[in-house]
Amino acid sequence: MWCVSDNLSKDISKDIIPAWAEGLPTPAPWQDLGHRVVHETPWMKVTDHEAVAPTGQASRYGVLRFKNLATGVLPVHPDGTVTLVGQSRFARANYSWEMPEGGAPFDEDPLEGAKRELAEEAGLAAASWMQALKVELSNSVTDEIGLTWIAWDLTPVPVDPDPTEVIRVARVPFSQLLHEIQRGAVLDALTVATAYRAYHMAREGLLPGWLAHAMLTRV
């Protein structure tokens, strides 16, 4: 049994300074002089700010602020295949193949949100989890943070998709997922980043040896 590595998720708002930046002077930050909410839904809001740039230049800045943490999980089977889900997306009017993903309220353990999405979308539960990434998603215009995991020791559970979702499920070799990312057929940012992180973890011995071997040798 592998336990969750939760160093990244203990404090979602805490920023870690890269080793090369330690000791360097801290640049002037943006100054927020006040804002108004211009649009709001149960999932996000858009704020319009009067601001001052680090250069001293007066500016207006719009920010998309999400009300949930983005979560995702790459489920890996003993034979080196991974389960992906496909669904229609509204914003770009496209069909997207992704790992199971969703949102976790800020007062919820992010891992519980990932477990919920794995069950609801892919019909799977996992006994072993390892955290893969903490990432900022388009940090020039949104404050959204994403957390992702690698999961294995999988068992089937009933699916329960959102009422707006028509989800297809595919089980494909991990190497094929990497190939389709390279071709541009898989574009979802969390899926792409987590797949490459999983490859690195498998190569560097950060995953169980039998699982890494299956991921890297399955054709």
Domains along the sequence of the chain with CATH: 27-65 (no CATH), 68-217 (3.90.79.10)
Confidence at 173, pLDDT banded by 50, 70, 90: very high
Statement: residue 113 has pLDDT above 60: yes
* pLDDT at site 27: 85
Mean local confidence (pLDDT), 32-42: 97
Give, in order, the Cα–Cα distances in Å from 27 to each of 8, 15, 21, 53.
25, 15, 11, 11
Statement: residue 143 has pLDDT above 70: yes
How far apart are the C-alpha atoms of 81 and 94, rounded to whole Å?
25
* pLDDT at site 115: 97
For 121-134, how does the pLDDT look when each residue is reduced to its tens digit (9 = 90+)?
999 999 999 999 99
